[in-house]
Structure 1
Amino acid sequence: MTELLILAAGLGLAGVLSGFLAGLFGIGGGAILVPILITVFPYLGINPDVVAHMAVGTSLAIIIPTAVRSYRSHRSKGAGNADLLRAWVFWVPFGVVIASLIVGGVSGDVLRAVFAAIALIIAIKMLFNRASWTLADHLPPRPVTNGVGFGIGFLSTFMGIGGGNLNNLFMTSFGQPIHQAVATSAGLGVLIAIPATLGYAYAGWGLATLPPWTLGYVHLLGAALVTPFSMLAAPYGARFAHNLSPRRLEITFGIFLLVVIVRMMTDVIA
């Protein structure tokens, strides 16, 4: 009983941290939740073969209300590209659906590798950003942007994130301010998390190896423990982001990603 209370408290703290980071970076919180859930779930008796899938599916469920809360906080500061989000209303969920159809046949190690590789590219961009790395000073035309939206939805489903990591890379590479990118990423999390959560629930539906209190690969009890704390902390992260200079926000984001990568690779090696 004591061990379960400790785990519950740990999940609550993870919710506070993920919510704050969701507001700060517009990432939805999955970048911190996935490694934490991968660490915690084995203590709940979850089969090691499905731990990574459960962590991703559960983090996506938590992202839904957290992303809504985060985006509203950023919009109150006048940030966020609503036109881009409207253009992605179809394309991002389409990428999510396609990825969800094949995610059940992908090993947990592949999910971890995809996460780490993409996160490393983004971290390097944020830490060592140069003016010459900017591809243009404006976003590309609609056909290209639509394809990017599809790709973000597809890759985010494998990574268990709200798409903020990828969108921050995309928007800053085309001359958009980091604060504008972060705010837009918060809204993007909603477009990704809803269909992705349904996809993970469907992909794991009826598996005999899943524990109680699950809906496919979504751990309902875990999500219920984390979500309130995540929603509570998101506005504070958004407020803090707007108090940072653009360059400082980029560096902070890059360092955060490196910490996440190291933590996840430690689990793989162990």
Structure 2
Amino acid sequence: MNLSLILIGQLLALGLATGFLAGLLGIGGGMLMVPFLTLILSHADVPSGMAVKMAIATSMATIVFTSLSSVRAHHQRGAVRWPLVRGMAPGILAGGLLAGAGAFSLIKGQALALIFGLFVSFSATQMLRNLKPKPSRQMPGTWGQAGAGTGIGFLSGLVGAGGGFVSVPFMTWCNVPIHNAVATSAALGFPIALASTLGYVLGGWNLPAALPGALGYLYLPALAVIALASVTMAPIGAKAAHAMDVAQLKRVFALLLYGLAAYMLWKAFAGT
């Protein structure tokens, strides 16, 4: 699969869109990136199961770069709750590494597509419901935060998402203000992505390259192009998050997620 101008344009557009959303909504972009990368890789004659795994791994690897750009912009506005980052990061590292190096390589690609589709559908539904938490609810203590981080890291590693679709609802459920939850989620995206990507490299180390430029589950050319574009757009999305009410945008984005989830569920059941 050569990097034609058309392909580069597609990857750039994908990187710009996901970078902006990473900053705006506190997500890693995987919800949008994985289905489109799966489609691109499938058209390159990569077997369906491997295409899904490569899309998930490559998507997560881009978040290493996107999260740094996004969290810098949020930190400058004083929105990141660093004590929550320190409390959840150890569990996130353990969960992400466990998923990337263990479960990810053992689960079939079609099963991962099914998990991804169900996860995205659930996330979209939660965005639409916009439930309000009980006023008395607070973030759990040290062990509770570590446990929540482990679950977030493991699930994120399986589906190639930065964790925002779990961590943001979890923190707002615990009465963390939405802008702080988005900013803190962006900071948590780095340890999630770092641990999971390391796991993908270890788990796919002995795999033959499915495409020129692939390293196990990672497709390096796509990683480079998307990361460059997404890092450029993440600060712009973060700036927009502090200047607008994102409730309406979340509803529109949720509808898009339903469409992407349907595509991944079709990939899971079609098995092609």
Q: TM-score, normalised by structure 2?
A: 0.90
Residues 62 and 130 of structure 1, relative CA distance in 2, 3 Å threshold? closer
- Is residue 197 of structure 1 aligned with residue 206 of structure 2? no
Partner residue of 1:16? 16
Determine the C-alpha separation between the residues in 2 that align with 1:4 and 1:26: 31
Name whichever of 254-263 and 213-222 sits farther off: 254-263
Tell me, yes or no, if the aligned pair for 1:88 and 1:146 is still in contact at 8 Å.
Answer: yes
Name whichever of 244-253 and 144-153 sits farther off: 244-253
Determine the C-alpha separation between the residues in 1 that align with 2:184 and 2:204: 30
Partner residue of 1:231? 231
Partner residue of 1:83? 83
Give the C-alpha shift of residue 181 in structure 1.
1.1
Determine the C-alpha separation between the residues in 2 that align with 1:238 and 1:209: 36
Give the C-alpha shift of residue 205 in structure 1.
1.4
Residues 172 and 211 of structure 1, relative CA distance in 2, 3 Å threshold? same
Structure 1 moving runs of 4+ over 3 Å:
133-137, 246-257, 265-270
Determine the C-alpha separation between the residues in 2 that align with 1:12 and 1:250: 23
- Is residue 120 of structure 1 aligned with residue 111 of structure 2? no
Partner residue of 2:29? 29
Q: Secondary structure at the match of 1:145?
A: helix
Partner residue of 1:148? 148
Alignment identity in percent? 36
Q: Secondary structure at the match of 2:4?
A: helix
| Number of equivalent positions | 269
**Runs of 5+ in structure 2 lacking a partner?**
none
Partner residue of 2:110? 109
Residues 258 and 242 of structure 1, relative CA distance in 2, 3 Å threshold? farther
Give the C-alpha shift of residue 117 in structure 1.
1.9
Give the C-alpha shift of residue 249 in structure 1.
5.7
Q: Secondary structure at the match of 2:106?
A: coil
Give the C-alpha shift of residue 92 in structure 1.
0.6
Determine the C-alpha separation between the residues in 2 that align with 1:268 and 1:156: 18
Name whichever of 234-243 and 256-265 sits farther off: 256-265
Give the C-alpha shift of residue 147 in structure 1.
0.5
Q: CA RMSD in A?
A: 2.2
Q: TM-score, normalised by structure 1?
A: 0.91
* 1:58 counterpart letter in structure 2: T
Partner residue of 2:213? 213
Partner residue of 1:48? 48
Tell me, yes or no, if the aligned pair for 1:47 and 1:209 is still in contact at 8 Å.
Answer: no
Residues 86-144 of structure 1, C-alpha deviations (whole Å, 9 max, x = no match): 1123211101121121211111122122222222223222212233x548432122221
Name whichever of 243-252 and 52-61 sits farther off: 243-252
Residues 220 and 246 of structure 1, relative CA distance in 2, 3 Å threshold? closer
* 2:98 counterpart letter in structure 1: I
Partner residue of 1:164? 164
Residues 83 and 3 of structure 1, relative CA distance in 2, 3 Å threshold? closer
Name whichever of 82-91 and 151-160 sits farther off: 82-91
Tell me, yes or no, if the aligned pair for 1:178 and 1:250 is still in contact at 8 Å.
Answer: no
